[in-house]
A and B are shown apart, each in its own frame.
Chain A
Amino acid sequence: MPVTKKKTAAKKSNTIKLKFDTSWSYDPAPESKSAATIKPRYDLFINGEWQKPAGNKYFATINPANEEKLSEVAEANTADVDKAVRAARNAYEKYWKKMPAKERAKYVFRIARMVQEKARELAIIETLDGGKPIRESRDFDVPTAANHFFYYAGWADKLEYAFPNRRTEPLGVAGQIIPWNFPLLMAAWKIAPAISTGNTVVLKTAETTPLTALKLAEIIEEADLPPGVVNIITGAGETGAAIVNHPDVNKIAFTGSTDVGKIIQRAVAGTDKKVTLELGGKAANIIFEDAPIDQAVEGVINGIYFNQGHVCCAGSRLYVQESVAKQVIRKLKDRMESLIVGDPLDKNTDIGAINSRSQLETIQKYVKIGKQEGAEMYESSCSLPRKGFWCRPTLFTNVAQSNRIAQEEIFGPVLSILTFRTDDEVIEKANNSPYGLSAGVWTDKGSKIFNMTKRMRAGVIWANTFNKFDPSSPFGGYKESGFGREGGLHGLSAYVSLKV
């Protein structure tokens, strides 16, 4: 018999609400952990070998979704950093600098292929270690990382075409420090252009997410790179400082907070070290009344809740033209209800775990501040797992430009919504920030898009889209969001010196 329901007549306006808690729901669809191998302990990958840390100290890395220990990794001290830099210097002088560029290229291509081959395993480990949904690590982090190696591999023997009328030389040993939000991808963003252009590398992973970079070290080992070309070490801030301060490092590439970026810039003063910094952001995402509203809403959701909002270019400041503000906010709230929050390994999860307890505390601090500032908070009605670090997708309305939640980087799934009336008003507000990493604009009118994209002071502008990345597309900020570009033709500059 057909299952039919009674016709619903037009409802009164107060009952007009979509119900997303549906009778038909998805069963858990967890990715299998068995497809990944995590060793109980990892040493430091220096000079092509796994070496015990000089201080013989190890620290645990946990799964933020359940607080269970996944493995323990070595804490590199100054002596270890020195060993790694020596290995990198030796590899630079002995092999890498001398190697024909096309051979160098083939090594990097090889890494790209191996990352693709081990994509599933890498995705699982990325999700276990960092808490991000498997859908993202599977469909974004890992393939984009592989593509980055593939892209830059091809540049290795074509550098004379990249800089008109100049010859390039590698810089030497690059010290690289990466953040915890896209651990494997950031390792790829750092290592691929560096070694393709002939530099050697000492890379330090983030404290909370070392595992995929260590897996990458295994791949590099398997790919038979000359020992010391890529050294991957683990540790906390002190390890990073040791890299920055090492006298034989020629280049520092850092992705992380603006505060630490500034410390690095001070630390290298008085040296010849070249520096590129990819730091924080507080991106404005602007919706005009003539925007494709539903796609804009989707862009806002993707802009702020992608990777739990742990994204330096997250669209965390939403500016909506007043005439459509109510409509946009209603749609955002609906859309938040259909976001699935929970087990990061579940293929249906949209929002995973917050990366660490301390980050969760930071986010909670800002949510509290937002409430105190008088903004109106809304969070999705989803239930949260009991163990682990979790935060519901959250938005604030009635936010003022002077509120801290509209000015400071929260780095979590928390959106601040402000309204505006005119183009000039919104451009002024959008640029009214010490940051300038990314920005978004939504409007159907072509000339307005170009007006906005030209006037917004940010390194990456998404028009009628958001949070898009590609190896061929340069990424990096204006103002206090750092300097230098990663990705694309322009990303090469960070790793070469130009000679006449």
Chain B
Amino acid sequence: MAAGSLTMLPDFSLSPRIDQVGVEERASCFTKRSIKKESKMNGLLLVLNMIDLTTLEGKDTDGKVKQLCYKAMHPHDAIPGLPSVAAICVYPSMVKVAKKALGDSGIKVASVATAFPSGQAPRDVKIRDTKYAVNEGADEIDMVISRGKFHAGEYNFVFDEIAAIKEACGDARLKVILETGELGTFDKVRRASDIAMHAGADFIKTSTGKIQPAATMPVTLVMLEAIRDFYYKTGKMIGMKPAGGISKSKLALHYLVMVKEVLGEDWLNNEWFRFGASSLANDVLMQIVKEKTGVYQAANYFSVD
């Protein structure tokens, strides 16, 4: 979707206002849902299946990525029939390794791009970065927005850049990272969400994981509500990916409750909702085993990759 094709762009400075306290209150309501028994097990399996298993380190190697890919396909073979995770998320240079390791497992390869995590690079570099990852076989691109430009009020710049990256993605799905921890207010999170969705994002994503705070329930709620409003306005579904800071199953289930009660059935699958996380998978596995055996688990029994 090129910028020029949208003749009726909204004035992003008029994005709906958000009251922080109200958002926090609402978000905390989701944490009060009691998820027990079968619904807990089903929820955990769903969470596992929604994870973008992530390694984004300067010291990443082929070996590390291969091990992670194995984990993605075989989260915990002691329990048969577990779903795999949704995707592996790596740097562009690791896409080829991951793609090969995952083979025909169906697990997607997501690559961060556009001078991740700061985004401080010229547009042509970002486009090349994106095209490189796509050419290496990435199914999904996780781009970062230019937060500096956003804060400076250059919404058109941010919009055009997202649209350009979207074009560079070709068939790959585009996740747009807002880096909410750098945006400062929910009003700005909402505005950035609106810009990203209108510019062609397939997913909006909270964070790079490199900045604190990363994903929180309130910020995710604001984005889910932006997705809902966009859906009502255009009929187009946009995915959501909270990333960073979600390492416990209980919290992940709270997120699931939030998706269920804000967007409903259509979003309760890994096509439209993902968790960007590295250590969540093992906690989910521990809980699954605990549910199956009735015994509290220890970390030593779950592979660390």
Contact = CB atoms under 8 A, between A and B. Distances in A.
Determine whether A and B are in direct contact in the complex, meaning some CB atoms lie less than 8 angstroms apart: yes
Interface of A: 1-8, 10-13, 15-16, 18-27, 29, 135, 139, 290-295, 298-299, 330, 334, 338, 347-348, 444, 464-465
Q: Which of A27, A290, A338 has the largest number of chain B CB atoms within 10 A?
A: A27
Contacts of B105: 1-2
Interface stretch (B2-10, B208-216, B267-275): B267-275
Interface in B16-38: 16-19, 21-23, 25-26, 32-38
Contacts of A348: 33-34
15 contacts: A2-B108, A5-B269, A19-B264, A22-B265, A26-B35, A26-B39, A27-B38, A292-B22, A295-B18, A295-B22, A298-B22, A338-B262, A338-B264, A444-B19, A465-B21
A402 B18 CA distance: 34
B235 interface: yes
Contacts of A330: 232
B21 to A, nearest CB: 7
Contacts of A6: 271
Interface stretch (B42-50, B119-127, B155-163): B42-50
Nearest to A339: B261
B61 to A, nearest CB: 25
B39 to A, nearest CB: 4
B117 interface: no
Size bin of chain B's contact surface: 35 or more
A-B residue pairs, 9 tightest by C-beta: A295-B22, A29-B34, A292-B19, A347-B34, A19-B265, A18-B264, A295-B19, A444-B17, A338-B261
Contact of B46 (A19, A24, A293, A465): A24
A3 B49 contact: yes
A334 B225 CA distance: 12
A348 B228 CA distance: 24
Given A20-B265, A24-B42, A292-B19, A29 B235 contact: no
Nearest to B22: A295
Contacts of A7: 271
Contacts of B260: 20, 22, 24, 338
A292 B18 CA distance: 5
A465 B16 contact: no
B15 to A, nearest CB: 11
Contacts of B108: 2
Given A22-B265, A26-B35, A29-B34, A2 B86 contact: yes
Contacts of B22: 292, 294-295, 298-299, 464-465
A19 B270 CA distance: 17
Given A27-B36, A293-B16, A20 B261 contact: yes
A16 B231 contact: yes
Interface string B73-106: 0000000000111100000000000000000011
A10 B234 contact: yes
Interface in B200-248: 225, 228, 231-232, 234-237
Contacts of A22: 260, 264-265, 268
A8 B266 CA distance: 9
B107 interface: yes
Contacts of B262: 338
Contacts of A444: 17, 19
Interface string B163-201: 000000000000000000000000000000000000000
Contacts of B17: 290-293, 444
Contacts of A18: 228, 231, 263-266
A499 B83 CA distance: 76
A10 B1 CA distance: 13
A298 B265 contact: no
B225 A294 contact: yes
B256 interface: yes
B48 to A, nearest CB: 10
A298 B262 CA distance: 12
Given A2-B86, A294-B225, A10 B235 contact: yes
Nearest to A13: B235
Contacts of B33: 26, 347-348
A24 B231 contact: no
B8 to A, nearest CB: 16
A10 to B, nearest CB: 4
A290 B187 CA distance: 13
B241 to A, nearest CB: 15
B34 A19 contact: no
Contacts of A347: 32-34
A32 to B, nearest CB: 12
Contacts of A291: 17
Given A298-B26, A348-B33, 11 more contacts: A2-B107, A6-B271, A10-B234, A13-B235, A15-B235, A23-B268, A26-B35, A290-B17, A291-B17, A292-B17, A292-B19
Contacts of B34: 26, 29, 347-348
A295 B83 contact: no
Given A7-B271, A22-B265, A298 B38 contact: no
